[in-house]
Amino acid sequence: MKPQNLGRQSPTSRKLTTGCEIIDGCLRGGFPCNSLTEIVAESGCGKTQLCLQLSLCAQLPISHGGLDGSALYLHSEFPFPFRRLHQLSRSFHQSNPSIYANHNDNPCDHVFVQNVNSVDHLFDIMPRIDAFVGNTKNRFPLKLIVLDSVAALFRSEFDNTPSDLRKRASLFFKISGKLKQLANNFDLAVVITNQVTDLVESSDGLSGLRIGNLRYLYSSGRRVVPALGLAWANCVNSRFFISRSNETICKENDESGRSSVSIRAQRRLEIVFSPHLPGSSCEFKITPEGICELQA
Amino acid sequence: MTETSRLPLSSSIRGKLISAGYTSLSSISSVSSTDLARDVNITEAEAFDILKLVNQISGSNGSSSLINGAKNAWDMLHEEESLPRITTSCSDLDSILGGGISCRDVTEIGGVPGIGKTQIGIQLSVNVQIPRECGGLGGKAIYIDTEGSFMVERALQIAEACVEDMEEYTGYMHKHFKANQVQMKPNDILENIFYFRVCSYTEQIALVNHLDKFISENKDVKVVIVDSITFHFRQDFDDLAQRTRVLSEMALKFMKLAKKFSLAVVLLNQVTTKYTEGSFQLALALGDSWSHSCTNRVILYWNGDERYAYIDKSPSLPSASASYTITSRGLRNSSSSSKRVKMM
């Protein structure tokens, strides 16, 4: 067994751009390789949007912040948004004309989609990923694994009894261990999404357990906590939280004198914990072209 | 170390002997019991006993202890006091730890995700390299990463801040010699961290078994950090009794390493919920039997918006807590505690 020489490694690990400058700035370049990153948010905050965009960005050349690789998208929430991926890939193709100038590649060709129905199914799939990475018929090696979402796999199958919870925790560590091994062996970025649960104040005080930089997580005006509890929180390297709040904008309509009310969703990405990032946050919006920064 | 200080006598009498100038066995055996009693200011019977003892020892070839290699507590206290400690860069935390993480001991540090366990691990692996001239150990570090949370860019950031602090310190201490000092570079600090990435518990056990040989070849290793001891042992273990046996064997190996090479072992641990008396409580992972495996135990927790460290178990330190904060430069004193001092 030989130690790795840290001095000879590049001082910053490879990062995968999100395609949004503000988020990249907040994350110091994007999602790190050889690391497990979790995105926690309630539905409709843009978890899947961000993951789809990352899957496309992975094929960007390294000079453009990508990983020069393909993406494997494991989805357990149905249906998979093929239409949306297609829409994103078209605008992705257009916004990166230099990369696709020489060949008539479709960006979708480098996003592999696999459904996951249950935890056992996931354990069937994961050993096959090794072979999949090794199989380099593709122009791009596999560089990103997305699991969207881990919560959907667990939320139906297990009871809230001590023995079931213990079994569940052991499975968390098994999944995380295997994914981290893949990430380490092939220098992959691994992104996992997770749902939230509403926080109900209880007498034992544990539901208010603080994990990470933020004292409370608020989304849509409710206090929430990431699903799957403390055991799962130990399994990820970084945790990001996307919150959503609706902002009402009143516009005075000059002609008729009446005012129209429009609601704009404010989405904010916050760093809950991460070994290499300080606590910070940034706002973004979702457009037909994907996730992008707010115009000032 | 004088010959007299090794005698199996009460510390007060030994102190008197040494202060009277009787430092060697021959100097004691050459005087009469009356003279010895007068010089050292003890009773003649006591002096007689001392002479008998000294003659006995010098007759039996000078081996002062019953069992070979045994030491008395007095010597051990001296040794312990002379042992260096690794600073955490947070003086409040250092002061409750008695000056820092102690060498020769196994220290366990646990807390919830995001409390800063990995940050403390990286900080210690940098701080152990602070040269002796700056009050450090000038050693090297072994970092065993089981979780993949070690980020080189973060280690570099902390190393840069550490080098800056050392430059400031040496510049302040010896203004005239600054020019001909050889400065450490942040990249050298990274080179002196032996980093092992461990992907399964079998690898972890194999590595711990290999450490003895590795450290024999790299004698200047002064700290071994395991981040975290827990991760691989929370999966795939249906037989919990077997897990306990494997873990306690590992703990013994760490204990042996710490004593043999007088280095600090720091084991980072996760927290879990424990069901006791009808309610769930937070506790460090790996169970009750594991809690006997470490000499010192430090628990990290949130108190309001501040991070705190609490000494849960230590044979020599009183239980106390101190706040700390994590800045871009690494672990530091909490800003509010320094404000509080200023206000008082």
Q: What topology is assigned to A15-292 in CATH?
A: Rossmann fold (3.40.50)
Backbone angles phi, psi at B5, to 5 degrees: -70, -15
Taking the CA of residue A233 and the nearest CA in chain B, the distance in Å comes to: 6
**Do B153 and A230 make contact, defined as CB atoms within 8 angstroms?**
no
Q: Which domains does chain B have, with CATH numbers?
A: 8-70 (1.10.150), 83-343 (3.40.50.300)
Smallest CA-to-CA distance from A260 within A248, A252, A272 is with: A252
Cβ-Cβ contacts under 8 Å, A13 against chain B: 151-153
- Crossing angle between the packed helical segments A119-134 and A162-186, to the nearest 10 degrees: 10
User: Which phi-psi region, left, alpha or beta, contains residue A19 (left: φ > 0; alpha: ψ -120 to 50)?
Assistant: left
Which 211-270 residues of chain B touch chain A by CB within 8 A?
214, 230-232, 234-237, 270
**Do B199 and A184 make contact, defined as CB atoms within 8 angstroms?**
yes
Mutation to test the A interface, candidates B112, B145, B236, most A Cβ within 10 Å: B112
Touching check for B81 and chain A: CB below 8 Å? no
Backbone angles phi, psi at B20, to 5 degrees: -80, -5
Q: Is the dihedral of CA A198, A199, A204, A210 positive or negative?
A: positive
ipTM for the complex shown: 0.89
Query: CA B46 to CA B44: how far, in whole Å?
Result: 5
Q: Give the model's pLDDT for residue A221.
A: 82
Q: How confident is the model at residue A202 (pLDDT cuts 50, 70, 90)?
A: low
Which residues of chain B register pLDDT less than 70? Answer: 1-2, 58-69, 173-182, 278-279, 336-344
Position A232 pLDDT exceeds 70: yes
Touching check for A237 and chain B: CB below 8 Å? yes
Smallest CA-to-CA distance from B307 within B329, B332, B283 is with: B332
Question: Mind listing the pLDDT tens digit for each residue in A85-122?
Answer: 999 999 998 888 877 766 667 888 889 999 999 999 99
Q: Give the model's pLDDT for residue B175.
A: 60
Mean pLDDT of the A179-187 span: 92
The residues with which A146 forms a beta bridge, in sequence order, are A73, A191
Question: Mind listing the pLDDT tens digit for each residue in B121-158?
Answer: 999 999 999 988 888 889 999 999 999 999 999 999 99
Q: Quote the tokens at residue B274.
A: 């424990």
Distance of CA A240 to the CA centre of its chain: 8
Q: Quote the tokens at residue A195.
A: 């749902």
Beta strands in chain B (DSSP E): 85-86, 101-102, 106-110, 140-145, 193-197, 221-227, 264-269, 271-276, 279-284, 296-303, 306-313, 321-327, 330-333
Query: CA B297 to CA B342: how far, in whole Å?
Result: 31
Q: Which residues contact A130 (CB under 8 A, 6 or more apart)?
A: A182, A185
Burial class (CB in 10 A: 0-12, 13-18, 19+), A162: exposed
Sheet of strand A217-219, all strands in order from the earlier edge strand to the far edge: A196-198, A222-226, A217-219
Residue with tokens 């071994």: B224
DSSP, collapsed to helix, strand or coil, labels residue A210 as coil
